[in-house]
């Protein structure tokens, strides 16, 4: 493992001093404007690709950027969504998929996930994504599934009561993105407000 404490020392020495006033404010203030839901993939770094500063993004990262639909059962993702929308009052939610997603590739290629039963179970939250991709005309199976999955997860988001309420009161906007790792570009998808996701 690389010595991450070297990175911490570097941060304290070279980065923190330049942002000391920002961190002093953030020590007592947490008012992000955007909830970013991305994949846990190490190559997709929300603050880097959006050039966001500390305090600006409330981030949830899950395997395959999946957002389970609302259910009464305890759910950490749902709790974080509710906190971001109902308490922090974020104005925008981005669901961001990405090229080369391992989760989407496993699903698109029908890989045997019996050795990782928790992952297999989690990826069932992409069942609707698979159905959408199968019905569409994608440029490639994984690419089509990544896009369909972002749309499906945006739809799942709308089942969460806090999100549904904020959308009804027109104080929240949903966005679908796909980050291309090789080129660094971000493609934007049609969102529920415009396309009836």
**Shortest Cβ 138–Zn ion spacing (Å):** 17
Among 100, 98, 155, CA closest to 132: 155
Letters for 30-69 (x = contact with Zn ion by CB under 5 A, - = none) are ---------x-x----------------------------
Residue with tokens 């259910």: 71
Cα–Cα distance measured from residue 105 to residue 97, given in angstroms and rounded to the nearest whole number: 12
**Shortest Cβ 112–Zn ion spacing (Å):** 19
Of the pair 126, 174, the CB lying nearest Zn ion is at: 126
Handedness of CA 27, 32, 37, 41 (dihedral sign): negative
101, 132, 147, 155: which is the annotated catalytic residue?
Answer: 101
43 tagged catalytic = yes
Residue 163 in 3-state DSSP?
A: helix
Site for Zn ion in 101-130 (CB under 5 A): 101
Query: Are the CB atoms for 132 and 147 separated by under 8 Å?
Result: no
Helix (H) or strand (E) holding 95, with range, is strand 92-98
39 tagged catalytic = yes
**Shortest Cβ 105–Zn ion spacing (Å):** 9
Say how many Å lie between the first and final Cα of the chain, rounded.
Answer: 42
**Shortest Cβ 163–Zn ion spacing (Å):** 22
41 tagged catalytic = yes
Instruction: Please identify every residue annotated as catalytic.
Output: 39, 41, 43, 98, 101
Q: Which residues sit at the interface with Zn ion, rule CB under 5 A?
A: 39, 41, 101
């Amino acid at each position: 493992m690389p010595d991450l404490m070297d990175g911490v020392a570097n941060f304290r020495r070279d980065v923190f001093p330049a942002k000391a006033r920002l961190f002093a404010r953030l020590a007592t203030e947490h008012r992000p404007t955007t909830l970013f839901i991305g994949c846990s993939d190490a190559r997709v770094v929300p603050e880097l690709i959006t050039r966001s500063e500390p305090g600006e993004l409330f981030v949830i990262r899950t395997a395959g950027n999946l957002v389970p639909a609302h259910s009464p059962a305890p759910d950490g993702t749902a709790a974080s969504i509710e906190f971001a929308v109902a308490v922090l009052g974020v104005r925008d939610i981005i669901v961001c998929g990405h090229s080369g997603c391992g989760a989407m590739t496993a699903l698109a290629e029908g890989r045997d996930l019996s050795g990782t039963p928790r992952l297999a179970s989690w990826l069932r939250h992409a069942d609707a994504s698979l159905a959408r991709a199968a019905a569409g005309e994608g440029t490639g199976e994984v690419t089509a599934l990544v896009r369909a999955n972002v749309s499906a997860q945006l739809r799942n988001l709308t089942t969460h009561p806090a999100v549904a309420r904020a959308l009804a009161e027109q104080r929240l906007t949903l966005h679908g993105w796909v980050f291309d790792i090789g080129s660094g570009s971000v493609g934007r998808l049609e969102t529920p407000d415009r396309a009836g996701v």
